């Protein structure tokens, strides 16, 4: 085979079939639309003002290879909360699984969440 075979193809094929069996494709269209039009600053004067409404201890977990939710976006929120002297924790997990890392890096996330909740 000229193009070779990649393990990711097997993963995508398996999950594609699984998603198609379990979910209505229209639900994904609505999720994508909601993600595209969501604006946390709507109704506030600025993004900073909206984020400033967060007053509780906050844990952010990101993944180095997630390009759907890139780390710089989380960093911006963490910087705002830190400037406002809010209690914020940000953990960036090294992973090669892209956006699906949140589904696959279970052990790494579990420990972080468990420790965070213990300290509330």
pLDDT of residue 4: 65
Average pLDDT rounded to a whole number, residues 97-112: 93
How does DSSP assign the chain, residue by residue? -TT---HHHHHHHHHHHHHHHHS-HHHHHHHHHHHHH--TTTTSS-HHHHHTT--S-EEEEEETT-SSS-HHHHHHHHHHHHHTT--EEEEEE--SSGGGHHHH-HHHHHHHHHHHHHT-
Least confident among 1-5, 30-34, 44-48, 72-76: 1-5
Split at pLDDT 50, 70, 90, the class of 20 is confident
Higher model confidence: residue 4 or residue 70? 70
pLDDT of residue 2: 62
Average pLDDT rounded to a whole number, residues 3-17: 77
pLDDT of residue 47: 97
Chain-centroid distance, C-alpha 68: 8
Nearest to 66 by CA among 109, 96, 21, 88: 96
pLDDT for residue 96 is more than 80: yes
pLDDT of residue 17: 87
Spatial distance between the Cα atoms of 2 and 75, rounded to a whole number of angstroms? 42
Split at pLDDT 50, 70, 90, the class of 15 is confident
Which pTM value belongs to this model? 0.77
Name the CA radius of gyration of the chain, rounded.
18
Scan for tokens 């509780």, then name that residue: 56
- Residue 61 pairs with which residues in a beta bridge? 91
């Amino acid at each position: 085979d000229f193009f070779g075979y990649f393990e990711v193809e097997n993963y995508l094929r398996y999950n594609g079939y699984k998603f198609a069996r379990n979910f209505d494709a229209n639900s994904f269209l609505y999720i994508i639309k909601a993600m595209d039009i969501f604006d946390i600053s709507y109704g506030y004067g600025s993004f900073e003002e909206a984020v400033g409404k967060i007053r509780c201890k906050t844990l952010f977990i990101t993944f180095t290879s997630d390009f759907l939710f890139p780390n710089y976006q989380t960093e911006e929120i963490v910087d705002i909360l830190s400037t406002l002297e809010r209690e914020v924790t940000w953990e960036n997990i090294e992973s090669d699984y892209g956006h699906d890392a949140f589904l696959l890096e279970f052990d790494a996330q579990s420990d972080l969440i468990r420790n965070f909740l213990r300290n509330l």
